Structure 1
Amino acid sequence: MKYKKGGIVVLKKWIMISISLLLSLSLVACGNKTSTDGNGSAKEDKELVVAHWGGAMTDAYKKIFDAFEEKYGVKVTVVTPNDAGKFKAMVESRAVEWDVANFDSIFALRSAKEGLLEKLDYNVINSEGVPEELVNEYSIGSEFISLAISYNTKKYPEGTHPKNWAEFWDTKGFPGPRTLWKFPPGLLESALLADGVKPEELYPLDVDRAFESLDKIKEDVKVWYTTGTQAPQLLANGEVNLAAGWSGRISTAKSQGAPEDLEFNQGIIIDDSWVVPKGAPNKDLAMKFIAFTLDPKQQAAFSSTIDYSPANAKALDLLDPEVRERLGQNEENAKQQILLNNEWWVENYDKVNERFEQWLLK
C-alpha cells in the first residue's frame, strides 16, 4: 500500500497532537498541584489525612492542625470519627485513605500485633518527655484522659455527690439513672473498685468478680454510651444523675454552663496514641506530624483548650496552675487516680469483650 507524502505529514502531526493531549491528561489525572513558597519557588502541595475522635477533642486539636499546615505548607484534612473497623478494613484491602490516626492505646498495641501499622521513625519523632510505657515501635502516646465519676450538680449540690466507685454503685444511697461507657477497659476496673478491691491489687483483673459487681448496677444504667459527647449531654439534660464520664468532656460542658462536675478520686487514667496505618499514602509526612503534636508547646496548647493531660510531661511546666488543677494534675488528685494497664488488656481484650457483649444481652 502506498501513501502520498502529504498524507504522511498529516498523520505524523495527528500522532504528535494525540501524544501531547494524552500527556496533559495524565498529569491532570495524577492530581499533583504546584504552588510557590515564600521565595517564589515551585513546590508540590500535599494533603495529610488525620483520623480523629471528633467533637470537643478534635476541636481542641484545631490550633495544632492549623500550625502544622502553616509550618509545612500542607493541607490537613480531618476525618471523624476514628472508626476502628474502617481502619482495619482499609489496611487489609490495601486501600488506605488515612495517613495518621489517634486511637486508645489498647487498640494501637493490638493493631501492631496484627501487622496493621507502619513503624514509627524515631529519627524524626522525639519521644523525650513521654513515659517509656507509651513509646512503642508502632505507636506513641498522645494524651491522657480520666474516666471519672461525673454528676449532675442540681441532683447533687455542694459536695453531696458520690466520692468513690462504691458510692457510685450504691443505688439506694445515691438513687437515680446512670450512664456508663460501653467499653470494658476502665469499666471492669470501676466495678472492682466498687466491690472493694484496692487499687494496687487490681491487676490481674478478677473478671468473674467484676461481672458480679456489674450485675448489681445493671438495672440502673439507663444508657451505655459510645461517644464522649453523650455522657455530658445526658447529665446536662437531666436524663441521668451520674456518669462515668471522660474528664475533658465533662469539664468542657461545665465551662459552658452545664450543671455538671466531676470527681477525680479513683479516676481511671486511659491514654491515647498516634499510629500510622500500614500503606499510608504520606507516611513520611505523618511522622513529621506526630513529632509536631508531641512538641511541649503544642501539647500545652492542647491541654489549655480541653482538660486532658499532655503525654509529654515537659508540657506541664508550660501550663497555668489553674489549668493543671483542672487536669487533676495537682499532687492530691494525681495520687488518687489509677493508670489503666494496657498490657493486660491487649492480652485479654477479645475474650473479655465477647463476654461483655453477651452480658449486655442478658
Structure 2
Amino acid sequence: MLRKGSIIGLFLIIALVLSACAGGASESGGKKSSNDTLVVVDWGGAITEARKKSIFEPFEKEFGVKIQVESPTDYGKFKAMVEGGNVTWDVVNVGNLWGAQAIDQDLFEPIDYDIVNKENVKTELAKEFYVGAEMYSTAISYSTEQFSENDHPTTWADFWDVEKYPGARGLWKMPYEAMEVALLADGVKPEELYPLDIDRAFKSLEKLKAKTEIVWWDAGAQPVELLSSGTVTVSTAWNGRITTAKNDGAPVDIEYNQALLNSESWSVPKGAKNKELAMEFINFATKAEVQAEFSKSIDYSPVNEKAIELLPEDVKNRLGQSPELAEKQVLVNEEFWAENFDEVNERFQEWLLKQ
C-alpha cells in the first residue's frame, strides 16, 4: 500500500458517490454529455483496479462520461502543470501530508461543498482543498509462529517490551509514524499526542535500540517478509499488506489497538478544465454505498461513516472498523507534519547515521 524517503515519495498507497442530502449537495441528476472526458489520476495497481468496478464505471454510467485514468500520482508533474497553466488532470488522489504542504503553494481548487456532500464524511477529512478518499492503518503486526492471538503485543508499550515479547523489531524508515509510536510506547496518551514531543520520541527510540535490533523497512511488502522469515518478531505495517498476506497463508497477524490512521484524498488541481464535473466525481466517490463497495473489494477503510454500517461484520473486523476496534485507533495529524516534516526528518536521518 504506501510510500518513502522524501516528502514527495511519502505516500504510495492508498473514495467515492453522494446524491442529495443536507448542506445543499447536488442531485446527481444533471447528466453530462457523452463526449465529456474526466481525467482521474490514481496510484495504479490493485487500488486503481478496485476503483474501476466500484467507482469509475458506475460514475461513467450515471453521468454519461468517460473516465480516463492516469497513474501514478506524480507530485512534481502536478505542481508543474498548475504553475505552467497547462492543467490536463481533473481529479488527483494525493497523500494528505503532501496535500497539507501543497496548500501554501496554491495548487488546488477549493472543494465546492455546494456539490460535495460532506455530511457523513469524517470531519477531519473534509478539508477546504481536499476530501478523504480512503483510510488505512499502521498497526502492530506480529509473527504467529512467535506469538498467539491471545498472547502478543497489544500496545506500543508491549512493542517496546522485548523481555516479555522477545525478538528484533521492524519500523518504517520515516520519522512520520516512528515519532508517534515512540511516544505512545513511552506513555503519552493518544489525545495528548500532538504537538509531538520530538525530544521525548528520540529518547524512546534510543531505549528500544538499546534493548534489541531495529530493522528499518522502506517498502510496504517488507514487513510481511521480515515477519515470515523470522528476521523480526514484531513490526509496524500497513494493515492491507498484513491482512492480504494472512489470507494467503503467511504466518502473520495484526493488532488494531493504538493503530495510526492515515488517509489519502481527492483533490482538484487549480485550473482544471472540468472543475464542476470533478466536484461531481468527488461527491459520487464519497457516497456511502460507493465507499462500501470499494472497501469490500480491497482493504482500505471508508471515509464516509455511513459506509461502515453497510459493510459485513467480517469486513469491518478485517479493516479494523468495527466500533470497538475503530475507537482504539489514532488519527495522524498531517497539519503538524506539514509544518514540521523537513526539520524532524533532517534530525531523524542524522540519528539513523549514528546507529
Q: Distance in 1 between matches of 2:45 and 2:155?
A: 28
Question: Which amino acid in the other structure matches residue 57 of structure 1?
Answer: I
Q: Is the deviation greater in 156-165 or in 110-119?
A: 156-165
Residues in 2 aligned to 1:101 and 1:240: alpha-carbon distance in whole angstroms: 36
Distance 1:131 1:285 in 2: 23
- Does residue 249 of structure 2 align to residue 286 of structure 1? no
Aligned-residue offset at 1:138: 0.8
Unaligned residue ranges in structure 2 (runs of 5+)? 1-32
Q: 1:43: Cα distance to partner? A: 4.5
Give the residue type in structure 2 aligned to 1:91: V
Partner residue, 1:100 = 91
The unaligned stretches of length 5 or more in structure 1 are 1-41
RMSD over aligned CA atoms reads 2.5
Q: Is the 8 A contact 1:56 1:249 kept in 2?
A: no
Distance 1:47 1:135, change over 3 A: closer
Ranked by relative contact order (alpha carbons within 8 Å, sequence separation 6 or more), the top structure is: 2
Q: 1:192·1:210 contact (CA, 8 Å) conserved in 2?
A: yes
* Residues 136-184 of structure 1: per-residue CA shift (max 9 Å, x gap): 2211112222111011222323433211112212334433333322333
Q: Paired residues, what number?
A: 318
Deviation at 1:284, TM superposition (A): 3.3
Could you tell me which of 345, 348, 354 is aligned with 1:356? 348
Deviation at 1:98, TM superposition (A): 3.3
2:310 aligns to what?
318
The counterpart of 1:339, out of the listed 325, 331, 354, is 331
- Once residues 74 and 215 of structure 1 are traced to their aligned partners in structure 2, the CA distance between those partners, rounded to angstroms, is 53
CA contact (8 A) 2:38 2:278 kept: no
Matches within 5 A, 1:159-238: 159-218=150-209, 220-226=213-219, 228-238=220-230
2:62 counterpart of 1:110: no
Which deviates more, 294-303 or 340-349? 340-349
Aligned to 2:28: none
How many Å separate the matches in 1 of 2:274 and 2:222? Answer: 33
Identify the structure with the greater helix proportion: 1
Q: Find the aligned partners of 2:46 and 2:200 in 1 and give their Cα distance.
A: 35
Which residue type is aligned with residue 278 of structure 1?
A: K
Match of 2:10 in 1: none
Larger CA deviation: 212-221 vs 105-114: 212-221
Could you say which residue in structure 1 is the equivalent of 2:15? Answer: none
Q: For residues 293 and 284 of structure 2, what CA distance do their matches in structure 1 show?
A: 12
**Equivalent residue letter for 1:166:** A
Q: Give matches, 1:232-247, under 5 Å.
A: 232-247=224-239
User: Per-residue deviation at 1:355?
Assistant: 2.0
SS where residue 255 of structure 2 aligns?
Answer: strand
Q: Percent identity?
A: 50
| Aligned counterparts of 2:34 and 2:301: Cα–Cα separation in 1 | 37
Q: Distance in 1 between matches of 2:74 and 2:167?
A: 32
- TM (norm. structure 2) is 0.80
Judged with a 3 Å threshold, the aligned counterparts in structure 2 of structure 1 residues 212 and 96 are, in CA distance, closer, same or farther, namely: farther
What is the rounded CA distance, in whole Å, between the counterparts of 1:236 and 1:301 in structure 2?
A: 31
Query: Which residue is equivalent to 1:19?
Result: none
- TM-score, normalised relative to structure 1: 0.79
* Aligned counterparts of 1:312 and 1:146: Cα–Cα separation in 2: 16
